[in-house]
Structure 1
Amino acid sequence: MPTFEIGAEDFLLDGRPLRLVSGALHYFRTHPDAWADRLRTARLMGLNTVETYVPWNFHSPRRGELRLDGPADLGRFLDLAAAEGLHAVVRPGPFVCAEWDGGGLPAWLLAEAGVGVRRAEPRFLAAVEEHFSALLPVVAERQVTRGGNVVLVQVENEYGAYDEDADPADRQKYLEALVDVVRGAGIDVPLITCDQADDAMLERGGLPGLHRTATFGSRSRERLEVLRRHQPTGPLMCTEFWAGWFDTWGGHHHVPPAGTSAGDLDDLLAAGASVNIYMAHGGTNFGTTSGANHKGVYAPTTTSYDYGAPISEDGTPGPLFDAFRTVIARHEPVPAEVPAPRAPAPTLDVALDHRLDVADATAALGPWRTWDHLPTADEVEQWTGLVLYAADVTAADRAVVLGEVRDHAVARLDRDPVAVLDRARGDRVVPLPARAGELQLLVEDMGRVNYGERIGEAKGLVGPARTAARGLTAWRTAALDLEDVTALTAQVRATPATAPDAPVVGPAFCAGTFDAAPGADHFFSVDGWGKGLVWVNGWCLGRYWGAGPARTLYVPGPLLRAEGNELLVLELHGAAAACGRLVDAPDLGHTEF
């Protein structure tokens, strides 16, 4: 059988030196019917390897569940990469970061009181072993040693950047335990760690016997020298060469300087190092999968994960594609073929002529539960998405003060809007008119923190709650189940038709149908809309927000059929009209000059 080993100076495939020229392409951020196209485009750029994270919570959204089909069919993705002639590097965590919800760690696990986070705590390690024992055989059977294409597997992820005050012995114990679990699941290819090209992080995050790699996006020669101090022998590898960057709501759209990035890549390859370009194709945070950072201020990641990557969100070669292809060709063979140009798509206007208030959406609202205190979303066992809270208030209450809002809430009194609260602004007071009624707050989890010490924190409303007159302890909750919106769409469509040019008062669902050219990529324009979520034929395109920077949501062509496409919008705030427009090109927003 074939072999893949770490030699004194090189990676060795069947004893022959092999430089990995890899690119990150996340199957979970790409529609599965587009996997083959993206992999082919990556190969035409000159890559010989593809890398992907494997987010735990994507495959196990609930305790005891393991998804390995459809968008979660990791085996099919690796097989398509092999069919394209690409090796594969797999990074299963258990923590992945990746600007993904919770860094990939399942909220249902971290909600358990006292469970460890990224450490050798028995319940955490037991859950990791259970998960890896079920997941990793998919990878094991596709290792190069068994005739497949997987050549490297990563243990943990940038562990040296986490909890820098932890005891070194405890760190080593944790990593050793992960190695045992990974090897026990049948992984026999070389294992690697990766950390930022920083002496302290490389020291903290590594383990004797595992090959250290580094992450960086500039000053390649200098960063490789840092890595060499900690990995004295064997091939040098940048496991994340940051070619671009991600966007956060309310910020700028990041566009990397092609010339600078290409020069740094050239320096890296000229030094003989292997590379994994992060990202080769960024893709999309479909649904409610985007994560968040919190470095003093909560900063959730946008739906578009275009990342300024060489292969754009819709698969089109971007400005970096030709620049990187030219650089790679100086060092490694590059195919003569180039990607075909993208076919233009027509603009489509969709009348969303049916509406339904969220509070009436019984097809999506779970059963109402009563509480003697203000529960978090985690207590409600709503691990992502939205929770509807309700409490009775009196004329004397005048305001409700909350401990914290995580992360965005729309407050109404008897369905009259009274406030919008946002975590990044520090909002936590709901002013009330002097009348009794039912206060409802629709609370959106904008993404669990994916980096740093706040990993694992609860979502929803954080108590206690008080009014001007008393403590407010009697609450009711209903979780929104938006995973399958078939019944919800039917309920919205069953409402009496409303003129689509009438303003939308949120939070409300709006629905309509349209015809399209099957297979043609489009972009949903959010102009005129406030904040919410969009579905096309049951597939959630993700969040939109007038805060920007993105002004469009990607609509993958495989979602569209010739007739009777269903468009569903959840508008939280309000919109000028219930008119949806699908356009030909993305608008990812303003850039910083």
Structure 2
Amino acid sequence: MPDFAIGESDFVLDGRPLQIISGALHYFRMHPDCWADRIEKARLMGLNTIETYVPWNLHSPRPGVFDTSGMLDLGRFLREVQSAGLYAIVRPGPYICAELDNGGLPAWLFRDGSAGVRRYEPAFMSAVTQYLRDVLEIVRPLQIDQGGPVLLVQVENEYGAFGNDQTYLKAIAEVIRNAGTTVPLVTVDQPTDAMLAAGGLDGVLRTASFGSRVTTRLETLRKHQPTGPLMCMEFWDGWFDYWGGRHHTTSASDAAAELDALLAAGASVNIYMFHGGTNFGLSSGANDKGVYRPTITSYDYDAPLDEAGNPTEKFHAFREVISRYAPVPDTVPASKPAAPEFTVALSDPVALLQGSGGTWSEHQEPPTLDDLDVRLAIFRTELRHGGPAMLTFGEVRDRVQVFLDGAPVGVLERERHERAIMLPHTRGRLELVVEDQGRVNYGPRIGESKGLIGPVRVGTEELTGWTACGIDLDRVPQLWHCAGPTPSALGIGPTAWRATFETDGESDLFLRTDAWGKGIAWINGFCLGRYWRRGPQETLYVPAPLLEQGTNTLVVLELDLLESPTATFTGSARLGFTDL
């Protein structure tokens, strides 16, 4: 079996120095039938290694579950990496950030408030231990000393930016080792003295995350890692986008120059991202550093491969740089042809405010979305006052639409720190549509609950006697099978629409969303993700493997207002303005 180790100044494979030239590919952000294509393109750019995070929350949506089907088949992904002749790096967290909902930590873990967050605490450690055992049962036989591709396993993730609990870090490393991990372990932190000290472990290789000022960053890392190879575990070659912001891009030539400096210094590198992919479903997270900013559905990241897997200017610039330090295949991948363009009518509206989509339950006070175990819910109560009054909330996480007797009153958003709205009258049916727009994935607000936090009041009086309907979003594409369509010409409030269209099942599609309001879309029952007129993203990516040769079904859940019940497919991605 191959022998891989950490040497005095290099990674050493079978007695020879190995400079790791890796790229990040997240298996959970790609359709599994696209994995081989993206991995092969990584090889053609000159990479010798593929890195991936492992998302605990996606594998374990409920306690006691560890799902490895479909897009979550980590074992299949690692075997495909090996089949392409590449090595692998696995970063299981348990916290991964990655702009993923809750940083990859499952929301159910914090539901009763008993578990700590990323610290040595019994409830948290018990759950983490089981999770890591589940992951490493897959990884263990795929380590390089077992004949597999895995070179390195990471302990936690940028922990120095969060805490300094060395007992916790040591315990995580011990769990990983006790689960049969024999390859070297690493940590990663941003290259500051404080973060490298707090997030590192003696006896575990420290690596860093940065995208510029290579010489200075490596000098800082070397102070904290006196021997062993230098590695940038996250070489940031782009950035992610948030709703209402611009589409982030970076200079291909500047990024290539920084990559050249890294490789010239003899450092190993993991390009974050090589291919970003897509936050399918409701997997995207959010940041809150004083202002809540939910992440968009696309995770294009301005990477060497775009969201649909086409090589970009960065692909060619990076490939040229890598060719100075390692063999690069002669073949250069071509871009796909433009996607088909067509328009179909949306029809058969089902209005969720009229009771479709979930089960109603009674509560004295509004439960949180966590209590209902949903991401979207309708709350209803009767007002018996009379004149105008102010409706107030303790805190809104993350968006509330207010209706009186079925008529819209307004919207409150966490992003704008809104907690109050005037009601024109206070007699009749009050309905609140409450939406979780993505859990914070970085910083001290990880693990917080969602929904209406604190009391709901009209004037000074707290409202009680509520009924709640948690919307099972997985069931939305089947609404027409369990309830007759409820005509709603204006589509007031959350309304589901559907359409059918024909394809050859061989081409990707790009669904235009900029003419709609805010909502979620599905193709053939698969959740493509969120859309929002706020942008910057104006299309949803539809991978060809989701499509059937012949008839396909599109379902749209519009939360605001659909100006025109029409779906348009366009020839390429539209990710928005690069400046505001």
**TM-score between the two structures when normalised by the length of structure 1:** 0.95
Residue 589 of structure 1, aligned match among 554, 561, 576:
576
2:363 to 359, 368, 371: 371
1:461-505 deviations in whole A, cap 9, x for unaligned? 11211102521122222211122545225357x52788xxx6543
Structure 1 pair 361–515 and aligned structure 2 pair: CA distance change class (3 A): farther
For 2:376, the equivalent position in structure 1 comes to: 386
Verify the 8 A CA contact 1:310 1:317 in the aligned structure 2.
yes
Aligned with residue 203 of structure 1, among 193, 197, 200: 197
For residue 289 of structure 1, give the secondary structure of its aligned residue in structure 2: coil
Are 2:544 and 1:570 aligned? no
CA distance in 2, matches of 1:430, 1:390: 17
Shift of 1:300: 0.7
Following TM superposition, the consecutive aligned residue runs of length 4 or more in structure 1 with deviations greater than 6 angstroms are none
* 8 Å Cα contact 1:370/1:475 also seen in 2: yes
Distance 1:370 1:258, change over 3 A: same
- CA deviations 1:189-231 (Å, max 9, x no partner) are 0000000011110011001100000000001111111100001
Taking a change above 3 Å as real, the CA distance of residues 372 and 485 of structure 1, as seen in their structure-2 partners, is closer
Distance of 1:469 and 1:392 partners within structure 2: 16
SS across alignment from 1:379: helix
**Matched letter for residue 189 of structure 1:** V
Paired residue for 1:436? Answer: 427
Aligned to 1:417: 408
2:229 to 223, 232, 235: 235
Q: Is the 8 A contact 1:489 1:511 kept in 2?
A: no
Letter in 1 for 2:39: L
CA contact (8 A) 2:509 2:569 kept: yes
Q: CA deviation at 1:435?
A: 5.0
Which residue in the other structure is 1:120 paired with?
120
Match of 1:262 in 2: 256
| In structure 2, C-alpha distance between the alignment counterparts of 1:566 and 1:431, rounded to whole Å | 40
| Cα deviation, residue 187, structure 1 | 1.0
Q: What is the aligned partner in structure 2 of residue 495 from structure 1?
A: 485
Aligned partners of 2:321, 2:413: CA distance in 1, in Å?
A: 45
Q: Which one-letter code corresponds to 2:542 in the other structure?
A: V
Aligned partners of 2:525, 2:210: CA distance in 1, in Å?
A: 38
Name 1:220's counterpart in structure 2.
214
Q: Provide the rounded CA distance (Å) in 2 between the counterparts of 1:475 and 1:361.
A: 15
Shift, 1:135, TM fit:
2.1
Residue number among 244, 251, 255 corresponding to 2:245 in the alignment:
251
> 1:484–1:83: structure 2 CA closer, same or farther, 3 Å change rule?
farther
- Secondary structure of 2:125's aligned partner: helix
Aligned-CA RMSD value: 1.5
1:82 is matched with which residue?
Answer: 82
Q: Which residue of 2 aligns with 1:520?
A: 507
Give, in whole Å, the separation in 2 of the partners of 1:360 and 1:560.
32
1:18 offset after TM fit, Å? 0.9
Offset, 1:433: 2.8
Q: Is the 8 A contact 1:391 1:438 kept in 2?
A: yes
Q: Does the CA-based 8 Å contact 2:4-2:14 persist in structure 1?
A: yes
The CA distance in 2 between the partners of 1:311 and 1:21, in whole Å, is 16
Contact 2:240 2:295 in 1 (8 A): yes
CA contact (8 A) 1:310 1:318 kept: yes
Q: 2:313 aligns with which of 319, 335, 345?
A: 319
Q: Distance in 2 between matches of 1:192 and 1:578?
A: 52
Cα deviation code 1:448-471 (max 9, x no counterpart): 000001111110111211102521
Structure 2 contact 351–487 (Cα < 8 Å) conserved: no
> Which stretch shifts more, 12-21 or 59-68?
12-21
Shift, 1:115, TM fit = 1.4
The 8 Å contact of residues 375 and 463 in structure 1, kept in 2 or not, is answered as: no
Q: Residue type matched to 1:112 in 2?
A: D
Aligned to 1:277: 271
Aligned to 1:5: 5
What is the rounded CA distance, in whole Å, between the counterparts of 2:572 and 2:445 in structure 1? 37
Structure 1 distance, partners of 2:475, 2:34, is 22
Task: Name 1:474's counterpart in structure 2.
Answer: 465
Inter-partner Cα distance in structure 1 for 2:350 and 2:117: 41
Give the whole-Å Cα distance in 1 for the aligned partners of 2:184 and 2:265: 22
Query: Do the aligned residues in 1 keep the contact of 2:407 with 2:492 (CA within 8 Å)?
Result: no
Please tell me whether the aligned partners of residues 289 and 447 of structure 1 are also in contact (alpha carbons under 8 angstroms). Answer: yes
- Per-residue deviation, residues 11-56 of structure 1 (Å, max 9, x unmatched): 1112221111000010111111111111111111111100000011
User: Is the contact between residue 310 and residue 334 of structure 2 (CA under 8 Å) also seen in structure 1?
Assistant: no
Question: Aligned pair in 2 of structure 1 residues 489, 330: CA closer, same or farther (>3 Å)?
Answer: farther
- Match status 1:295 vs 2:289: yes
SS across alignment from 1:200: helix
Deviations 1:403-435 (A, max 9, x none): 111111222122211111111111222432325
Query: Are residue 350 (structure 1) and residue 344 (structure 2) matched?
Result: yes
- Tell me the secondary structure at the aligned position of residue 120 of structure 1: coil
Quote the residue 2:517 is aligned against: 530
Residue in structure 1 matched with residue 451 of structure 2 by the alignment:
460
Alignment deviations for residues 172-202 of structure 1 (CA, whole Å, 9 cap, x no partner):
1111111111111111100000000111100
For residue 102 of structure 1, give the secondary structure of its aligned residue in structure 2.
helix
* Equivalent-residue separation in structure 1 for 2:144 and 2:404 (angstroms): 61
Distance verdict in 2 for CA 1:497–1:468, change over 3 Å: closer
SS of residue matched to 1:515: strand
Counterpart among 300, 303, 306 of residue 300 in structure 2: 306
Number of matched pairs: 579
Residue deviations 1:363-404, cap 9 Å, x none? Answer: x31x2222222321122233xx21221121124373321111
Shift of the 361–16 alpha-carbon distance from structure 1 to 2, 3 Å rule, reads farther
Task: Tell me the distance in 1 between the aligned counterparts of 2:251 and 2:127.
Answer: 42
Aligned counterpart, 1:329 = 323
Secondary structure (helix, strand or coil) at the match of 2:175 reads: helix
Residue 40 of structure 2 aligns with an amino acid whose one-letter code is R
Structure 2 counterpart of 1:248, one-letter code: Y
Task: Tell me which residue corresponds to 1:149.
Answer: 149
**SS of 2:303 mapped into structure 1:** coil
Asked if the contact 2:350–2:487 (Cα under 8 Å) also holds between the matched residues in 1, the reply is no
Cα distance in 2 for residues equivalent to 1:337 and 1:496 = 55
State the shift of 1:562 in Å: 2.4
- Structure 1 pair 496/407, CA: closer, same or farther in 2 (3 Å)? closer
How far is the alpha carbon of 1:525 from its aligned partner?
A: 0.3
Q: Does 428-437 or 209-218 show the bigger shift?
A: 428-437
